[in-house]
């Protein structure tokens, strides 16, 4: 089974963390939650999650996939150099990268979206285009090892796309 890094900070979109995590754990995958520092973070609607380790301590070469939930979490993460560097390193390793809603903003900051076809929450789409991505409005967009989705309503399809990609690895 795969070892998967989730990137998370306060004000994450609760369902965009909880649903993919549950889907992946039920399939037997191992999850590490990585953030600015180890400890508890709280979602927009009050859910809590435990960050297992700071991005600077994460063993990048051990992960098979990266999942980035949306909400305001990606915006908080993108101003921390260790998080941005980990994101860039993982994306450049050609592992599975899955981002939903506002999460592509962290991928923009890491400089890994140019030439890709992606989707996101509407407010991130202009930023994606300005960073060199082709933007589509689809439930799930798969471009090589990148999987993106727009919003919480897309989570069932997002989770299934991640599972299929991991099975094909």
101-110 per-position pLDDT tens digit: 999 999 999 9
Q: Which of 29, 80, 101, 141 is catalytic?
A: 101
What are the start-end ranges of the E strands in the chain? 3-7, 30-35, 39-42, 48-51, 53-54, 65-68, 96-100, 117-118, 134-135, 140-143, 146-149
Residue with tokens 């990585």: 34
Known catalytic residue: 101? Answer: yes
Known catalytic residue: 141? Answer: no
Residue with tokens 């939930």: 69
Give the domain extent around 50: 3-168
49-97 per-position pLDDT tens digit: 999 999 999 999 999 999 999 999 999 999 999 999 999 999 999 899 9
């Amino acid at each position: 089974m795969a070892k998967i890094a989730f990137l998370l900070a306060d004000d994450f979109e609760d369902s965009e963390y909880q649903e993919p995590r549950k889907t992946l754990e039920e399939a037997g995958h191992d999850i590490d939650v990585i953030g600015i520092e180890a400890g508890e973070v709280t979602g927009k609607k009050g859910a809590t999650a435990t960050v297992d380790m700071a991005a600077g301590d994460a063993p990048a070469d051990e992960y098979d996939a990266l999942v980035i939930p949306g909400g305001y979490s990606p915006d908080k993460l993108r101003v921390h150099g260790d998080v941005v560097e980990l994101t860039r390193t993982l994306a450049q390793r050609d592992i599975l990268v899955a981002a939903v809603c506002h999460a592509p903003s962290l991928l923009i900051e890491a400089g890994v979206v140019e030439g890709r076809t992606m989707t996101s929450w509407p407010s991130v789409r202009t930023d994606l285009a300005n960073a060199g991505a082709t933007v589509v409005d689809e439930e799930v967009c798969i471009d090589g090892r990148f999987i993106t989705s727009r919003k919480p309503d897309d989570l069932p399809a997002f989770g299934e796309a991640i599972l299929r990609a991991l099975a094909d690895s």
